[in-house]
Structure 1
């Protein structure tokens, strides 16, 4: 280039720079924002940046298919079940508009699924047959104190007759003996018969302990004059003779206080092939915000939740038998807050990390520990930091699952507390004396963190908010990869969408991660505008998918028994360094007790890879899994679906 040409280019550059500076003088912030955004887009879309940090893409469904997704689960068909129910929208609830979608992330197709009940805030888990068990949901929305027009609350019905139970229909009238005020039940109630109590040494009859039934009652008319201030004994209209003498109600204050959500007993299996709900026997207890956890024998434990009168289920846990599709109570009572993080251990016991989603007393069932469901023995685990900030924290079983190490992430104070935690906590349950110790800190106090196990043994931690439900525009648009081998985080590309309450994440069979939901209370920093439910889906493509090639995997069996082997084909067999069996997610409210990544022993010969499934049924629960093969760079194959019977 000659000197004159160089001077002309320099002059044009100077003129352009002067023009930009002149505009900046008049509209500096606007020019800066436009320039910064353009540069940011250029930066995050460079191949090298993607290969180091990954990339985020937004998926926006056509308007007619959008919904407020609360729950998501990966099906063994490769599709994703997206459940909204009423979607935390009382107008939908009042109209009985309950939504479910099945989305195919490969083909991009979306299908509306008839939804039989309000499965908003239900519990779910993967079953051995490939169906998804779904239990509980919403019977009634909460009413804040200012919206309650009729005094009401909990009535405990006593039956002192040891010879027979008694059933009271919905609409039963209760009249206070002292206050004279009348209340009506909203549902039927079965009150068990009284229990005769005898002296253990002499066999002498001592007394009858009355059978108890719980029912929600409400004044017949609106107004404060129908409130009661103290406990009273209530006569039951319609009873005569011995029934009238033996049966009565006792209620504390019945007032215009806030009324919590109420749960339902309904349970369903979702069939991924037929793509429909199948009704099974209802639970014994109504539950809103329950956790479902698979046990050692393949049955499913249902724990906690708010019942049909808006009270925390009083420790009555129950088990679903997939063979009979029926429920039965466990022998002992143990109470937890709602959506407790409960994981099946390799010895058949249950690990409770202390993570939960909220409702429940702040001094009951909060301590982490190991629970033997059969004996009801509970061994507390020490060392947990920020123990008063465990609501809305996340817990993940670190890969490989054989190591039985867990990571507990962030969390917040009880209820609508502004407190949030920057802590991560680690615990090794195989240690001689297991106790929590702190892992690497988060940059900010984080409620509702999403965590997804990846095929390369890292864990993607993303989203959340510093405050309750994103108050004060506190969503955290950051993502990190946690490395179990080095106990460290590395920063990756930032998500485009904020995610807090009612959000979740699911690993897809191609190694990407899907994020859904988010339900902010407010839409601005000043907390003056109502929030809007986030209906967009976002997909994170990890760095390993921007490398030159990924190993191939195919041609293997669809079923491999525990302790048995199966052979797959791959032209890249020689460069495979590890094989992982990953259970598909069922995610909601920062709770996903299904996901786990199991290391498989393997050997290669030519273009063949032979893998062996571990024998422990508590480690490898029956059901469908994604089988990934990783090369020496940590790049995974696309998953092959394998069923473990």
Structure 2
């Protein structure tokens, strides 16, 4: 097939920013579809979420908390009101209803350094269902194993109203809460914009101004935020909004560096792309690289989704610039980016055209169409042009309000999709989706033996060697290790998600298939945040039977 024909098949609609940007985008247009992985993985329906899965967060090795807004879900709280949160058990696929009183629509979450989940923001009161306003709510969840834990709520726990804020865990164990709107809307406006930041536990009774979120209107909701690696006393964040990004010092409350504009469309709600900090490696001096993928150029149901990604290396801020590449040859908005146990990134879910938002006219007019059923795998260590491969298709459309996350056994939990303003299970093109899938990545098809860590949850310290013993029936095992923070997942945003490679030293064969080794923890909280993280021991890049929870401090 001639290159001109390929280019015609995959012509992109881009915002023209500069001659240099045009050149980058022209190169992207010449890319072809990613090849099919010979081990494409597989999807399997395993359960029912009971509520629409708008937000998810792994709270223990066996539990996932699912959160929705107030809508007509079929299961109820103890007091008879509709359920808006459940605890999902991974081994049994059973769920336990949790209890809430405030509307959690389009909220955010992050863990404190002590392992406590903090959840903030929401939307208006729903009088008919007897739920209070959630804009200023602060909710606490202390994970447990005995089925006794539930939500604690402070309806006025924030300093201001926040709908679509972003949260992230900081290196000192607190959480940062950034941006949002003062009310629900199609896209952010100057009148209702909340360009401020606050911390929990709070430093001040008033939020701090964050002018960057004024500059990047109207596509500034759920800004992408990543803690940047560096020395222990560094307090730098990468913050992306609309098409722009900055490095911000959260200690001094000031901009360290304005970064070049990313070519292509806006990539925040409702033109929703996704971002990921690529795995950090000690042999690369923990160099930070951010990948931003997908989105859409216009707030228009007929607009094709974008098929480009931008990647920036922040190890030298003075020379940092975006490299544009093709998004696996597939147009996609509303994607989820999940860093897998081997350090590759899985992109799944989303739509081929349209924007994030609700359908109208009783589901006859779609906000987004062309569900993208094909996941792609991104290998950040491969050369440009060879980083993406296609994987096995799902059969379930996952559009607005869909989610995905890695779990300790190396599979990916996939749920959600509700492009309707309330629950609709019939008489609409894309129904409210309650089916839960597990995706088994390609590494689970290789046939390699998987190590089992012979120890439960452990407390460890930064920059220390942690003794680990594993069992495996492979005399030629090649061990590697990584710490993973799964983050809080909603609306194509994986808040605080992190993957850090750990050095493995002094591997000793103890006999009978048992091996001991030392796993070296990262040097400080800027590499991976304190608190709940998960230690994977891999054999030939295939994860062990399960990761163990590590409380890092």
TM tier, smaller: 0.7 to 0.9
Corresponding position of 1:386: 264
Deviation (angstroms), 1:389 = 5.0
Q: Quick check: 1:57–1:539 contact (8 Å CA) kept in 2? A: yes
> How many corresponding residue pairs?
458
The secondary structure found in structure 2 opposite 1:474 is strand
Further displaced range: 585-594 or 461-470: 461-470
Kindly indicate whether residue 36 of structure 2 is the aligned counterpart of residue 52 of structure 1.
no
Q: Quick check: 2:342–2:542 contact (8 Å CA) kept in 1? A: yes
Instruction: Write out aligned runs for 1:407-446 (5 A).
Output: 407-416=291-300, 418-431=303-316, 432-446=318-332
Corresponding position of 1:577: 479
Deviation (angstroms), 1:445 = 2.1
Corresponding position of 2:228: 345
Deviation track 1:302-333 (CA, whole Å, cap 9, x = no partner) reads: 11112159753432221111xx7986523665
Distance change (3 Å), C-alpha of 1:341 and 1:548: same
Q: Quick check: 1:584–1:594 contact (8 Å CA) kept in 2? A: yes
Distance change (3 Å), C-alpha of 1:422 and 1:369: same
The secondary structure found in structure 1 opposite 2:352 is coil
Q: Quick check: 2:116–2:142 contact (8 Å CA) kept in 1? A: yes
Distance 2:150 2:204 in 1: 19
The secondary structure found in structure 2 opposite 1:466 is strand
Instruction: Write out aligned runs for 1:47-446 (5 A).
Output: 52-61=39-48, 66-87=50-71, 97-140=82-125, 264-273=135-144, 274-280=148-154, 282-307=157-182, 311-321=191-201, 328-330=206-208, 333-335=211-213, 337-346=220-229, 347-354=234-241, 366-373=243-250, 374-377=252-255, 379-382=257-260, 384-388=262-266, 390=268, 391-400=271-280, 402-416=286-300, 418-431=303-316, 432-446=318-332
The secondary structure found in structure 1 opposite 2:527 is coil
Distance change (3 Å), C-alpha of 1:592 and 1:87: farther
Deviation track 1:319-370 (CA, whole Å, cap 9, x = no partner) reads: 111xx79865236654262111111112421112336xxxxxxxxxx52221
Distance 2:288 2:431 in 1: 39
Distance change (3 Å), C-alpha of 1:283 and 1:471: closer
Larger radius of gyration: 1
The secondary structure found in structure 2 opposite 1:562 is coil
The secondary structure found in structure 2 opposite 1:501 is coil
Distance 2:58 2:170 in 1: 20
Q: Quick check: 2:308–2:327 contact (8 Å CA) kept in 1? A: yes
Deviation (angstroms), 1:122 = 1.0
Q: 1:536 aligns with which of 408, 415, 435?
A: 435
Q: 2:508 aligns with which of 584, 590, 605?
A: 605
The secondary structure found in structure 1 opposite 2:524 is coil
Q: CA RMSD in A?
A: 3.1
The secondary structure found in structure 2 opposite 1:578 is strand
The secondary structure found in structure 2 opposite 1:66 is coil
The secondary structure found in structure 1 opposite 2:115 is coil
Corresponding position of 1:644: 552
Distance 1:427 1:330 in 2: 28
Deviation (angstroms), 1:425 = 1.1
Further displaced range: 449-458 or 266-275: 266-275
The secondary structure found in structure 2 opposite 1:396 is strand
Distance 2:330 2:37 in 1: 25
Distance change (3 Å), C-alpha of 1:113 and 1:140: closer
The secondary structure found in structure 2 opposite 1:434 is coil
Deviation (angstroms), 1:376 = 2.3
Corresponding position of 1:497: 396
- Structure with the bigger percentage of helix: 1
Distance change (3 Å), C-alpha of 1:309 and 1:68: closer
Deviation track 1:561-597 (CA, whole Å, cap 9, x = no partner) reads: 1112211112349623310000123100011122111
> Whose relative contact order is higher, 1 or 2, with alpha carbons under 8 Å and at least 6 apart?
2
- TM-score, normalised relative to structure 1: 0.66
Distance 2:467 2:457 in 1: 7
**Unpaired runs of at least 5, structure 2:** 1-35, 127-132, 186-190, 357-365, 422-426, 510-514
Distance 2:416 2:551 in 1: 30
Distance change (3 Å), C-alpha of 1:327 and 1:69: farther
Q: Quick check: 1:627–1:639 contact (8 Å CA) kept in 2? A: yes
The secondary structure found in structure 1 opposite 2:196 is coil
Corresponding position of 1:209: none
Distance 2:299 2:267 in 1: 10
Q: Quick check: 1:285–1:313 contact (8 Å CA) kept in 2? A: no
Distance 1:278 1:284 in 2: 18
Q: 2:333 aligns with which of 439, 447, 456?
A: 447
Corresponding position of 2:494: 592
